Amino acid sequence: MTSIITHHLTPRGLEHFPEWFQRLRAVLEQQKGFVSVRSFADLGDPSARLVVLEMRTEDDLRSWTSGSDKAPLLREIEAVATRPWTALRLREVV
C-alpha cells in the first residue's frame, strides 16, 4: 500500500521540512509493516512537498494513519503550512 501526502508550506516550513522529514522517517521505521518513505518537491508548485509512504499491507497503513504516533508530527508541520495537507491511498493494480 502506498500513500502520497502533500504538504503546502510557508518559506519557514520549507526550511524546516528536511529536519522534520528525518524525524518522521525515524518514527515510521519503528512501525509494523513499514517498507519505505521518500520525499519529493513538486516542480509545478515550489511550496509543495510530497511524502510517499509505502507500507506492506492496507491494514499496516490504516494502523499508521489511525494511530497517535503521527499526531505530534502532523501538528508541527501544519503550523508552517499554507493550507491543509492532503493524502491519497493507492493500491497497486495489475
Q: What is the CATH number of the domain that holds 50?
A: 3.30.70.100
Range of the domain at 47: 2-90
Of the pLDDT bands very low, low, confident and very high (cuts 50, 70, 90), residue 92 is confident
Residue position matching grid coordinates 493500491? 91
Count Cα neighbours of 18 within 13 Å in the Cβ-side half-sphere: 2
Torsion, Cα 89 11 18 69, to 10 degrees, reads -50
Asked if 10 and 81 touch (Cβ cutoff 8 Å), the reply is yes
Whether pTM exceeds 0.85: yes
Number of domains in the chain: 1
Say if residue 47's pLDDT is above 90: yes
Asked if 6 and 50 touch (Cβ cutoff 8 Å), the reply is yes
